[in-house]
Structure 1
Amino acid sequence: MQTIKVQTTQNVTIEYPIADLGKRIAAKIIDSLVLTAIAFLFITIALTIQPGEDAVIGLILTFLLIYFVYPLVLELQMDGQTFGKKIMKIKVISLDGRSAGFLQYFLRWILNLADMQMGGAVGLVVIAVNGKGQRIGDLAAGTTVIDLKTKIQDLEKVINLHKIEENYVATYANVYLLSDHDVQVIQKIVLVYRQTGNEEILQKTADKVKEQLGLLYTQTGSNLHFLETVLKDYKALTMNN
């Protein structure tokens, strides 16, 4: 499996598996089915309207707008995912490891026209040859698409999750607010700390997680204990669902 190494804002290198072509194509198909369902809904509504009415033209224009902005709006609102990407567990990220910004999503979206030349063959060829899972839009935007599915296996490198009792009660019940990317960063930071003892990186990460979870104070002692507890809570509340 191809991987890509990205540098986080904490100066930690994280290696992500690149989403393969099969998953990206499958996500595209799922999104096409979603748009097809929306089209049928609009057609059904249009059939109830008298021919020639302005409302029919309005429905057509509305659907065309939805069709064209669908990937841009969803990736902006769903942190780099559309419905298809979410089902296939893949995600758009910036090459620096952060979530992509508006301009990056916009460039990916507008340059999709170039990627779709020759029935999408241009984009597929570019993805296959550049080694970073990037189509033309990704090259311009400084983004790529990663596979999130393998992150579950990596958790056991950080903490002995198999020791979580069946009746385990999470300390921080809102850990679901963390994204897959957030969890991978926490995992890597804990590993780096255990290898280097770098308290500054640990402190910055703990502060960022507290901010994301809206915590004014924690119920755990050290920063290391706090982050390990967050990982255990995440496992207990999300992985087994």
Structure 2
Amino acid sequence: MAAMDPAEREARIDLAAAYRLAAHFKWTDLIYTHFSAKIPGTEHILINPFGLMFDEITASSLVKLTLDGEILSDSTGLGINRAGYVIHSCIHRARPDAHAIMHTHSRAGVAVSAMKCGLLPLSQHAMRVQQRVTYHGYEGIALELDEQERLVRDLGPHAPAMILRNHGLLAVGASTHEAFEVMYYLECACQIQVDAMAGGIDNVVAMPAAAADTADAQFHDATRTKGARAWTSLLRMLDRLGSDFRD
């Protein structure tokens, strides 16, 4: 990444780290999900090349493209997953706060996306997003541009996360580490819900409304560091594992 703008270099490194962390936490679905990040000061985004496993992605292998879908650089020659472009580009365009967007098809996430009840207030993990999560109905694989309007409408102007019915999860953040933290809590909450409901919904204890409101407010207190400490510790973990994500 010689002679690259420092802001783009940093965006690439953080996004590549997010892919490696997703592989570590087993959020992957072969090559079929996607994370993106906007390059600061531009209308360009970075996304994964369509064909690399998440544990193969490096900073230099990420594809740079415009919000209109024009590929500006692709060192792998693999191109991109169209569904990734359809989902991510419209949210980056519509949401000024959407620096990073993460989409997964994890087993627990898809399971909760298929539940009529949606995400329930069953755990402290759930309260990171439960009261602010939105929902989007399934329309098939996201290949058609006309779905973009409905994706943006259903996500709304402020939601940090959306559950795509019968499909998976989506997290939005003002930074890559913030989007990663949202997805981490959302994934954990879904796993906890699936485990808890294995004993039957009548055996589940939901969080009292007052406690849920308190937890939601605490998670969104303006003084929170929004995952910065956790992110730096996660990068150290990748370094200890010998990851080449910075390459």
> Taking structure 2 as the reference length, what is the TM-score of the superposition?
0.23
Q: Structure 1 or 2: larger helix share?
A: 1
Q: Which of 1 and 2 has greater Rg?
A: 1
> Taking structure 1 as the reference length, what is the TM-score of the superposition?
0.23
